[in-house]
Amino acid sequence: VVIASDDLMLASDLAGLLSDDSFRVFTTKDVIGVEIGGAVKNVIALAAGMCEGLGLGTNAMSGLVTRGCGEMRRLGLTFGAKASTIAGLSGVGDTFGTCFGPLSRNRKFGYRLGKGETMDEIRESTTEVAEGVDTSIALVNLIKTECKGYRLDLKYPILFGVASILNGTQTPKQGLEGLMTMPFMMMENFDEKY
């Protein structure tokens, strides 16, 4: 677990109070990085669940989660997060737990969408809250208003794709097909030079 605060002494005091032999708490001053990681991982988990619900297998799910972490990094760096925070426990680490853990509410919600259930059917049959549902729409709105560039959907295809599925403009199967038929990019990351 990571405590983020501008006040590192306070964060260290809290970490000392909460840590024990079986629970370790780390600290960082990168509040933005922890916030971005915590938000984006829930949306990636929805996508991972859909991938699983569609029966696409572990390799497809792993690839999707890895690409989602790239989108998390890109968004985090855009807002001033440190790459090391995104690559650490509160970013990629938490994403793995949420995407592959059996108790993840977001992964379960995505799984049920992938199996063909509607949002209304899922919401009516559970008391659990999948935070990624509302977060997905909020992140896309944030990207559209705060990020500069043309075709932001190409820089954040998983985030935009999940929001499109949740808005009902495409199915999980169509969303995956959209990812697979995106314009071909020579480099894996948009920040690399040819």
Q: Would you name the residues annotated as active-site residues?
A: 41
SS3 24: coil
Residues 39 and 139: beta-carbon distance below 8 Å = yes
At CA 85, angle to CA 21 and CA 26, rounded to 5?
20
Indicate the angle between helix axes 105-114 and 31-53, nearest 10 degrees.
Answer: 30
Residues 130 and 123: beta-carbon distance below 8 Å = no
Tokens standing for 56?
Answer: 């696409």
